[in-house]
Amino acid sequence: MVAKEVVVKNATGLHARPATLLVKKASSFKSDISIEFNGKKANVKSLIGVLSLGVTKDSKVNVIASGDDETLAVEEIVKLISSLEE
């Protein structure tokens, strides 16, 4: 298992468009990937799950992956979240 914390810089947080990009990226990995925010956890491969967390701008989220490509998965997801600025 690999975990890393990242700050969401996007003005709308992880809402519709950014969440969709996140789900698409996560779906390209074999590992189980989840995101933690305010004590809640959601599967990053589920759009409804990501949206249900209600992540807002300047929030710290924890990206957790477990599986064959867990290290790469966490790196790529964290990089995507960091690059989402509107």
Q: Which of 15, 36, 49, 66 is catalytic?
A: 15
Q: Does the annotation count 15 as an active-site position?
A: yes
Compute the average pLDDT of residues 4-21.
95
Indicate the domain borders of the chain: 2-83
CA distance 58 to 45: 22
In tens, the pLDDT along 20-69 reads 999 999 999 999 999 999 999 999 999 999 999 999 999 999 999 999 99
Domain 2-83 CATH (choose: 3.30.1340.10, 1.10.150.530, 3.40.50.2000, 3.40.50.10190): 3.30.1340.10
pTM over 0.85: yes
